[in-house]
Structure 1
Amino acid sequence: MVFGPFTGKDNHGCPIAFGAGFVSSENCDAFSWLFTVFVDSLGVAPRIIITNQDWGMRLAIEKLLSGTRHRLCMWHIMSKLFEKIPKFFSDKEKFSKEFKACVWSELLDRDEFDMLWTGIIEKYVVEDHKWFKGMFAIRHLWITAYFRDVPMGSLMRTTSVLESENSFFKRYLKPLFNFADFTLQYNNAIGAQRNQTERLDYYNSTISPKYATDLAFEKQLASVYTDRKFRVVQELISEANKSCRMISMSTLENIEVFKVSDARKKTFTVTHEIEAESFDCECKLFERCGYLCSHLFFVLRNKDVNNIPEKYVGNRWLKSELLKAVHGLTSDESASDKGSNEDDKLQIGNRCHGRYFGLYQCAFKNKNHLIALDNLLAGIGPQIFTDDTTGSSSVDKNDSIKNIYGIVVPEEITAHAPDVVSTKGSASDKKSRIKSSIEKAIEKASKLHRRCGKCHKVTDHNAMNCGIK
C-alpha cells in the first residue's frame, strides 16, 4: 500500500505532520477517499495544498476541494529542468540561470512574468519544445507570480518541505514493515517531532534575542514571534534601518503614497490610508508570508510608530499556541475561555515542560547528576499513577474504541497482508519506467568491469571495441 503523509509548517517554520493515510492505488478514486477522510478529521478544508504532478491527485482536488487553492510543487518541476533542456544548447548554465530568475521571482506580476518568459523562450528558440509549452499552459498552477496574494505561510520558496518530511520518516520506516511495525515506528516519529517542537517552545520562553536596532517595535516583535521567525523579521528590520531610502512621497486626499528603495536598489510603492490606519506594500510579502516587509518597516520607522498594529503582527508565527479550526475554536471563543480549566491545564503543562528541560540542561553536564535525575523520574511514576488507574486502562481503551467505531473489539483478529501495488516515480520497480540520465550514470558507474581480451585491462570496453589494433 502507498503511504501518503499530509505535511505543513508549525509556528517555528519547521515541517510537521498533520496526518497520514494509506491508499491501495494512485488514482482519482483512491485520492478522493483520502481527501474526504482528511477533511472530515480536520473539520475544515485547507486553504492551499501543494502536490506533485500526479494527474489522479489533481482530479480528486478539483472534484472535492473546490475552495482550496491547488499548487504544483516547484521543487519537483525545476529539478527536471536540466533533463528537459535540449541537447543542442551550447550554454545550459546561462539559460538555466535566466530561466530560474524568471520562475522563482516573487516580485513579478502576471503580465510581467508572461513577457519575461516569452522573451527567454524566443531568445533560446524553444517555443515549440513540448515540455516548455506544457509548463507555460499550466503556469497558473505553479508559477510564483500567480500566487502573490495567496497566504503561503513561507512555502513560496521552500516547496521542498515535503521532501524534508519524507527524509524524516525514512529514518523510522522501512518498505518491508508490516502494519504493526509501521504503526509503532510512525508513533515514534510523531513523538520525536513533537519533542522537537516542545524544545523550541521552551527555548523561546527562556532565551532573549539580541537586538539589531534601537527601534521599539523590534522589541515588541521579539516578544511575540518565535525565535526562528524573529531572526527573519529582524533582518528585514535591519535592512529597513540601514539600506532603505525614501524616493518620493505624495498625498492624495486621505491616502499617503511612499516610493521606497530597498537594499537591492528596487523601488516599491507603500500606501497608507490615514483614517483607517492601514498600510499596504506593492511587494505583497505580508500577504504571502505573514510578516511585514522592509519597505513597510521603513515607513513605520519614519512615522515614529512604536508598536506594530495587531492586525500586522498576525497569528501565524506567534510563540503562543496557534488557534486552529481543527480544535473547533475561534478567536472569540478562545478569548471568552481564558480563565477556563483548559487554559489552567495548559499553563501547568508548560511549567512542567519548562522545569523538566531546565533540570535536564543542568544535569547533562555531570553524569552522576543525570543518573540521579533518571532515578528520580523513574520513582515519580508509581507515586502519581496508582494501580487502580493502570488496571482500568485496558477497559477504558476498549470503551473508547467502541465509542469511536461503534463495534466491540473481537476476541480473535485475523489480519491479511495488503495487496502489493505498483508505485510511480523513483520508487517504482517497473522495467518500462523511463530512467533519468542521473540513474543511468549511477548504474553505469556501479556496473562491474571485465578484463579486455586485447589490452588485458579491467575496464568498461571489450575486445570488439578496444582501441588497440
Structure 2
Amino acid sequence: MSIVLVLQLEKELHKRITFVTFFVFTCSREGCRSSNTSTTLKPQPTSQTGCKARLSACSDATGVWKITSVYLEHNHEISPSKFRVFRCYRELNAHVKRQLEVNDIAGIPLHKSFNSVVVEKGGYENMTFIEKDCRNYIDKVRKLRLGEGDAAAIQAYFSKMQSLCPGFFFSLDLDDDGRLKNVFWADNRSRQAYKEFGDVVTFDTAYLTNKYDMTFAPFIGVNHHGQSTLLGCGILSNEDTETFVWLFRIWQECMEFQTPQGIITDQDKTMQNAIEIVFPNTKNRWCLWHILKKLPEKFGYHSQKASILCSVHELVYESQSENEFEQGWVSMLDMYELQNNDWLIGLYRERRRWVPCFLITSFWAGMSTTQRSEGINAFFYGYVHSKISLKQFVEQYEQALRSKFEKEFQADFKSFSQVVPCVTRFDMERQFQSAYTIVKFKEFQQELTEKMYCDIESTDEGSFGVRYVITEDFTVHEKVKEKIFEIMFERDKCTFSCSCHLFEFRGIICRHVIIVLIRNKFSVVPEQYILRRWRKDVRRLYTRVKINYNGWITTPVQLNYEKLCDAFKNVADLAADNDNETQMLLEWIESKTSDLAISKLQLDCGRNLVSPPSMQVQSDRVDNLYQTSTCKVLDPKYTKTKGAPKKLRKKVHWRSAKDINFIFY
C-alpha cells in the first residue's frame, strides 16, 4: 500500500474520529442487490456479488485505532487490466475539470470536450475517467450555477446583472400562481445600439430553446456593416395576442418608447394584432421568403405548377408600380383559372404587406425577409439546444452575444485600417470610399460599375425638373432583357427620385441616378444622400458601452491555477529541446508533487480535526446564487419525461481509496 493511500486512509480516520468508533472497508462488489421492480423477467445488471472481502477496525477509549479483522478472499475474478474503469480508480484532475467548465460555458458539447481530452492523453488506455464522470461533473457544476429552481435562478441572475450594469433591463411575467410565463431582457449595449439602428427590426419566433418548449423571440436590427445586431430578447410560453402585446410593450419601455419605423414578421395573425395595438404607426411587413416558399406546396397538384411559380416570381420581383402588379395579378388568375383560390385571394388582400413595389418607397435597410432572425437563430444553434434550461440559455446567450460584438469590432477595425481600391476615376467613388464602411462601399461600388449596362434613352424637361428615361440590360435565364426606369431630377436643388427606389429602400444610390449625375457634371454626391447610418467615421455611443457580463467566475484558487499553468508552459517551451533539462525538470516535478500531496493531506487532516465535514461550505460559486428579491418565482410548466425515478441508495460508499469502499454500519 503506497504512502499516499496510507495518508488518505489516515485522513478519513481523522475526519471521522469525533463521530465514529468503528468502521469497515469492503469490496466494491459486497452485498446483494434487492430489486423492488415488478418486471422480474427484465432485471437490471448489478456489480454486487456478495463478496466477503473486507477490513475492520475500531478505536479504544484512548483513541487508538486497531485493525480487528481482515478477509482478503474475493468470490469473483479480479482483472488488473480493467482497473481504470472501476469507480474507485476513476478521478478527474483539476486541469480536466477546468477544461470541461470552460468548454461548457463556451457551448462546446460534452462529448467533444471528452474526445479532446482523449486525444491529449494519447488514447483511452491512458484515461483515469470515463465520459460519464465528465457528464456527472458538469451536471454538478451546472446545479451550483443554477441554484434550487430554474426560475428563481434566472431571477437572481438578472438581478445580479442589473447590479453589475445599471443599464441592464429585464422583466418577468408571472401567472396567478406565481409561475414564470414569459421573460424579456436586454443589456445596456443593445439598448444603446437601438438608438442607432432601431429604425427597422425583424421579429421571428421560429426557434424552440429549452426544456419547457418556450419560444425564443429576438428583436434583430442591422448595423452599419450590414451585420445582424441583437436589440433585446424574449422567451415566451405562448404565442397569442396577449403574450405578444406584453412583450412589445416591455420592449417599448426598455427602448424608452422609441418605436421602429418598420418591423418584419411572418404571417402570424396574433403577432399582427399585437403590433397594431402597441405600434399603430409602425409599418408591418410580411417576410417575403416565408410566402414564396409556400408556392410549391400550394400548387403542387396543379398541372401548370412550374408556370404559375414563374409568373408569381416575375410579378413580385419585376413589377415597378402598384398598377403594374395589380394588372399582372388579374391576368395571371385569368390565365391559370385561379380566381377561386382562397390562399391567393388572401395574399392579394394583404398585398401592401409583402409585395416589394408597395413597400420600396420606405426605408427597410435592404431587408425584405425575417432571415436576419433566422440567421440569429442559426448563430445560437451552436450554443443552445432544445433541452437547455432557462438559466443555461441566458448564460449561453451571453457567449453568443460576445461573439457577435467581437465580429462587429473586427469589422470596425477592418474599415478603419483598410480601404477597398477605387475602380474608376470618379470623385464620387472616393467620396464613398472615405465615408462608408467597407461592406456598404462595396454596394455603392457595384452600382457604379454596373452603370455600364444603363443608357439614357430620352429626357423631358418640365416644371418639376427633368425626367430621364433609363434603359438597362440584364440577363434572366441566359436571355438578355431590357428594363426601363424613370428618374425625376432637379438640378438646382440636386434632388432626384428613381422608379427603382433603391435609395429609399436600402440607403444606397442606384446606378440609374449615378449615370444622371455624371451626365450633369456632378463630381460628388450631395451630403443628404450619404446616410449617417452607413458611415464608418461616426463615433457611436453604444460602442463605448462597457461589456460587463457575469462571465467566468474567477476565484483565488483559479487565479493561482492559471498562473502556475502559464509558468509551466513557459518552462516547457524553454526546456523541451534539451533532453537533459527535460529529465531534470520531470524528476523535480515528481519529487515536488509527492511533497505537496503529503503536505496537503496532512493539512486537510488537521483542518478536519477542528471542524466536522458537515460544517464545511463550498464557496466557489456562492456569488452565482445572488438574491435580491424575496418574491419566489416558480418554474414554468413542462411535461416530465417518461421513466421511473432514480432509486435512492441505501448505503453511502467512500470512493477515495483505490481498491475498497467505505461504508457506515
TM-score by length of 1: 0.69
Q: Distance in 1 between matches of 2:533 and 2:473?
A: 26
Structure 1 gaps, min length 5: 328-341, 350-370, 376-393, 402-407, 422-469
Q: Which residue of 2 aligns with 1:333?
A: none
- Secondary structure (helix, strand or coil) at the match of 1:96 reads helix
Establish whether residue 303 from structure 1 lines up as the match of residue 520 from structure 2: yes
Pick closer, same or farther for the CA change 1:419–1:203 going to 2, 3 Å: same
Q: Distance in 2 between matches of 1:267 and 1:103?
A: 17
Residue identity matched to 1:31: F
Pairs within 5 Å for 1:155-194: 155-156=367-368, 158-194=369-405
Per-residue displacement from partner, 1:197-236 (whole Å, max 9, x unpaired)?
1111111111211222111101111111111122221111
What is the number of equivalent residue pairs in this alignment?
347
Q: Which residue of 2 aligns with 1:258?
A: 468
Q: Distance in 1 between matches of 2:489 and 2:276?
A: 38
Q: Distance in 2 between matches of 1:112 and 1:74?
A: 19
Paired-residue identity, %: 26
Q: Distance in 2 between matches of 1:49 and 1:292?
A: 23
The two structures, once aligned, show a CA RMSD in angstroms of 2.9
Pairs within 5 Å for 1:220-235: 220-235=431-446
CA displacement at 1:263 relative to structure 2:
3.1
Contact 2:266/2:370 (<8 A) preserved: no
Pick closer, same or farther for the CA change 1:253–1:28 going to 2, 3 Å: closer
CA displacement at 1:65 relative to structure 2:
0.4
Per-residue displacement from partner, 1:80-107 (whole Å, max 9, x unpaired)?
11110151x22322221121111233x4
Q: Distance in 2 between matches of 1:153 and 1:65?
A: 19
Pairs within 5 Å for 1:288-327: 288-321=505-538
Contact 2:234/2:247 (<8 A) preserved: yes
Contact 2:265/2:370 (<8 A) preserved: no
Q: Which residue of 2 aligns with 1:439?
A: none
Per-residue displacement from partner, 1:415-466 (whole Å, max 9, x unpaired)?
5321239xxxxxxxxxxxxxxxxxxxxxxxxxxxxxxxxxxxxxxxxxxxxx
Q: Which residue of 2 aligns with 1:112?
A: 324
Pick closer, same or farther for the CA change 1:301–1:115 going to 2, 3 Å: same
Establish whether residue 218 from structure 1 lines up as the match of residue 436 from structure 2: no
Establish whether residue 20 from structure 1 lines up as the match of residue 233 from structure 2: yes
Q: Distance in 2 between matches of 1:134 and 1:320?
A: 46
Per-residue displacement from partner, 1:276-298 (whole Å, max 9, x unpaired)?
22122122111111011101100
Per-residue displacement from partner, 1:133-164 (whole Å, max 9, x unpaired)?
111111122111210211011013x5422221
Q: Which residue of 2 aligns with 1:100?
A: 313
CA displacement at 1:322 relative to structure 2:
7.7
Contact 2:470/2:485 (<8 A) preserved: yes
Q: Which residue of 2 aligns with 1:77?
A: 291
Establish whether residue 122 from structure 1 lines up as the match of residue 334 from structure 2: yes
Pick closer, same or farther for the CA change 1:305–1:177 going to 2, 3 Å: same
TM-score by length of 2: 0.49
Structure 2 gaps, min length 5: 1-213, 475-481, 548-568, 574-620, 640-665
Establish whether residue 3 from structure 1 lines up as the match of residue 220 from structure 2: no
Q: Which residue of 1 aligns with 2:277?
A: 63
Contact 2:228/2:376 (<8 A) preserved: yes
Contact 2:320/2:499 (<8 A) preserved: no
Instruction: Select which of 346, 357, 376 maps to 1:134.
Output: 346
Q: Distance in 2 between matches of 1:194 and 1:137?
A: 41
Contact 2:486/2:499 (<8 A) preserved: yes
Q: Distance in 2 between matches of 1:222 and 1:6?
A: 31
CA displacement at 1:254 relative to structure 2:
6.2
Residue identity matched to 1:249: T
Per-residue displacement from partner, 1:149-190 (whole Å, max 9, x unpaired)?
11011013x542222121111221112111221111000011
Per-residue displacement from partner, 1:362-405 (whole Å, max 9, x unpaired)?
xxxxxxxxx99xx9xxxxxxxxxxxxxxxxxx9xx99xx9xxxx
Q: Distance in 2 between matches of 1:140 and 1:244?
A: 30
Pick closer, same or farther for the CA change 1:62–1:73 going to 2, 3 Å: same
Establish whether residue 280 from structure 1 lines up as the match of residue 497 from structure 2: yes
- Secondary structure (helix, strand or coil) at the match of 1:262 reads strand
Per-residue displacement from partner, 1:224-249 (whole Å, max 9, x unpaired)?
11111222211110122x22212122
Per-residue displacement from partner, 1:17-59 (whole Å, max 9, x unpaired)?
1110122211111100100011111120111011112121111
Per-residue displacement from partner, 1:106-141 (whole Å, max 9, x unpaired)?
x42111111111111211111111211111111122
Pick closer, same or farther for the CA change 1:228–1:286 going to 2, 3 Å: same
- Secondary structure (helix, strand or coil) at the match of 1:8 reads strand
Establish whether residue 49 from structure 1 lines up as the match of residue 263 from structure 2: yes
Pick closer, same or farther for the CA change 1:95–1:253 going to 2, 3 Å: closer
Residue identity matched to 1:243: Y
Q: Which residue of 1 aligns with 2:456?
A: 246
- Secondary structure (helix, strand or coil) at the match of 1:140 reads helix
Pick closer, same or farther for the CA change 1:194–1:36 going to 2, 3 Å: same
Larger radius of gyration: 2
Q: Which has the higher contact order (CA 8 A, sep 6+)?
A: 2
Q: Which residue of 2 aligns with 1:336?
A: none
- Secondary structure (helix, strand or coil) at the match of 2:445 reads helix
Contact 1:237/1:297 (<8 A) preserved: yes
Q: Distance in 2 between matches of 1:141 and 1:128?
A: 21
Residue identity matched to 1:25: N
- Secondary structure (helix, strand or coil) at the match of 1:152 reads coil
